[in-house]
A = this chain, B = another copy of it.
Amino acid sequence: MTQVALPLIRKLALSFRLSTEESEAIAQLPFHIRDVPGDFAIVSDGDRPTQCVMIVEGFACRYKILGEGKRQIFSFHIPGDIPDLQSLHLEVMDHSLATVMPSRIATLQHDPLRAFLRAHPRIADAFWRDTLIDAAIFREWMASVARRDASSRVAHLLCELYIRIQAIGRTTDHTYELPLTQEELADALGLSTVHVNRTLQELRAEGLIRSGKRTVAILDWARLREVADFDPAYLHFRSPIPTP
């Protein structure tokens, strides 16, 4: 019935060998589909969710509001991601999850999901693995924010998103849709919006990217990757990553 799970299955298959039966089992999970607007708070810091959320269409981010009202975005999420899978094992949310554009999401109650994972331990491993890749992405972002300069940071994020979005088949001609404002980029990169703006201009001037309203085009992958100090190993794909 549900085609809904397709991006999830495809994504898990990127890093894990799923059998046909396993894929079909996942497709049978009792998803509940919902459309939500942009800037919609799916789960909030402090909540005790009883369900997980998968992104079917759209774009979401996880973030936390810090002491002096600053916001740190920890990750961006694309179709096939289950950004709050951790709520299955950690009762209280320590951060928030929100859409950044109108999106279609599929919710999955914890109880049936838990039962399902007990019945399919290999799939449980795949889900665990997925959360481990999540953590690897956090580490890489930490390294970016701690040690790379502004242009490297911006470039790195653009590289990562390109690879991830390409992996779910949503790039054409080295171009992908990026529905983020410069303020959101700044909140993710630990920069000010002003500096993000100047840095994007710099990357454009260098001929590395073209970036217009809501889209990014990679013009020179080799040099962008160089500037970014980007090595996709941390994404843990099974097969070598096809590069432009």
Contact = CB atoms under 8 A, between A and B. Distances in A.
B129 A92 contact: no
A190 interface: yes
Contacts of A92: 233, 236
Nearest to A15: B90
B142 A141 contact: yes
Interface in A229-244: 229, 233-234, 236
Contact of A234 (B94, B128, B139): B94
A67 interface: yes
Contacts of A181: none
Interface in A191-243: 229, 233-234, 236
A132 B133 contact: no
Given A94-B236, A146-B145, A128 B74 contact: no
Q: How large is the interface on A (under 10, 10 to 19, 20 to 34, 35 or more residues)?
A: 35 or more
Given A67-B229, A138-B138, A72 B236 contact: no
A234 B62 CA distance: 14
Interface string A67-104: 11010101000000000001001111011000000000
A147 interface: yes
A23 interface: no
A105 to B, nearest CB: 21
